[in-house]
Amino acid sequence: MAVTDGITIIHGPDGCAHHTTSLLHALQVDHDRLFSPIILSSSLTESEIIFGGEEALGKAIRSAVARKPGLICVLTSCVSAAIGDDVQSVCNSSHCPDIIVVPTGGFLGGGFSEGVEQALLALSVLGGSGSEPDGSVTLIGEKNLEYEVDAHYRELSRLLSLLGIHIRLRFIRNVSTAALSQLGSGSLNILRDHSLEEVGESFRRRFGTPYIPSFPVGFSGTLRFLEQVGEQLGIDSRQAVKTERENQEQLIGNFRDLRGANVSFYGLSSSALPLSEELIQRFDLRPGTAGFTCSIPDPLPVGTAGLSRMLHRWRRVCRA
């Protein structure tokens, strides 16, 4: 749905299509974008549940084709999976070359992460134009439903610019179908988080592109990220690390009023533990049940800028 000239068909009831439309709309509007991805529903009702939904899907595909999109993706829902529609066969018989089935099957195809993985792998068939690695970076699997998704992108762009590197492709966020062919021509893939490591491995095998398994988290994690990118691309990262370390020290100085505060962490996930320990140490915090209640967001804050935004919220709670 983040392919700007693509159409997504959800083979299911209108309600399922609405859930996705509504969530994406909320994020688009929050980011002042007036673009709404086209999500076509095959509008399964009680009648199709009884007699089968393949005809309804065929009609939805014809309707999508008539709009001449760059790409059509057909997503199966739990309803179409439960009634056993042969979605691939309907798509094959449509004689439309630009159609990709993403076998999500609603919850019958696994959870949210499996769906993301399936979509990334399915659309990777459009990648690999055969060109040599060009020194650029490809972001893999940005979370399109994440409120801070573009803030994270800006932070990644800033950090990579310290190394003189640019992001060429966001696989998949706000890209055209044509741009997807650039998958495989970047020199390094950066995965959104560790849950996508199988996707990273798959792309490494297919295109020979190495990957970093996660966006940077924490002060030291961000510096390590710069070093890793430098190592992977054969770039001396010492100056970039020095610049970023100074930036972090200045930031820590800006929040010196938090130093020594009594804090209690609320709803801390296991993945946030290392970050909480780093923050305790950096700010000499005194964790316990007393003091101001602070939380670490899930997904974790990205880079130094993500930490800065989180610390502002901590300070607001601390002052309350």
Nearer residue to another protein within complex by CB, 32 or 132: 32
Nearer residue to another protein within complex by CB, 15 or 288: 15
For the CB of residue 215, give the shortest distance to another protein in the complex, in Å.
23
3-class SS string, 113-146: HHHHHHHHHHHHHHCCCCCCCCCCEEEECCCCCC
Strand order of the β-sheet with 286-287 is 286-287, 262-265, 292-294
Nearer residue to another protein within complex by CB, 50 or 256: 50
The reply on whether position 94 binds another protein by CB under 8 A is no
Nearer residue to another protein within complex by CB, 42 or 248: 42
Residues near 202 by beta carbon (within 8 Å), at least 6 away in sequence: 121, 124
The reply on whether position 79 binds another protein by CB under 8 A is yes
Cα–Cα distance between 259 and 193 in angstroms, integer? 30
Nearer residue to another protein within complex by CB, 8 or 182: 8
The single-letter code of the amino acid at 60 is A
| Burial of 217 per CB tally in 10 Å (0-12, 13-18, 19+) | buried
**Which of 74-82, 95-103, 147-155, 159-167 is the region at the interface with another protein (rule: CB under 8 A)?**
74-82
**Which of 34-42, 93-101, 178-186, 196-204 is the region at the interface with another protein (rule: CB under 8 A)?**
34-42
The reply on whether position 267 binds another protein by CB under 8 A is no
Among 2, 3, 6, 21, binds another protein (CB under 8 A): 21
The reply on whether position 178 binds another protein by CB under 8 A is no
Alpha helix stretches (DSSP H) within the chain: 14-30, 46-51, 54-66, 78-83, 87-92, 112-123, 149-162, 197-207, 219-233, 238-254, 273-283, 303-319
**Which of 43-51, 155-163, 272-280, 296-304 is the region at the interface with another protein (rule: CB under 8 A)?**
43-51
- Are residues 212 and 156 in contact, defined by beta-carbon separation less than 8 angstroms? no
Binding mask 99-128 for another protein (x = CB under 8 A): -------xxx-xxx----------------
| Burial of 159 per CB tally in 10 Å (0-12, 13-18, 19+) | buried
The reply on whether position 316 binds another protein by CB under 8 A is no
For the CB of residue 184, give the shortest distance to another protein in the complex, in Å.
31
Cα–Cα distance between 243 and 225 in angstroms, integer? 14
The reply on whether position 36 binds another protein by CB under 8 A is yes
The reply on whether position 68 binds another protein by CB under 8 A is no
Rg (CA), the chain: 22
For the CB of residue 206, give the shortest distance to another protein in the complex, in Å.
28
Q: Summarize as ranges the residues that interact with another protein (CB under 8 A).
A: 12-19, 21-23, 25-26, 28-30, 32, 34, 36, 38-41, 43-46, 48-49, 56, 59-60, 63, 78-79, 82-83, 106-108, 110-112
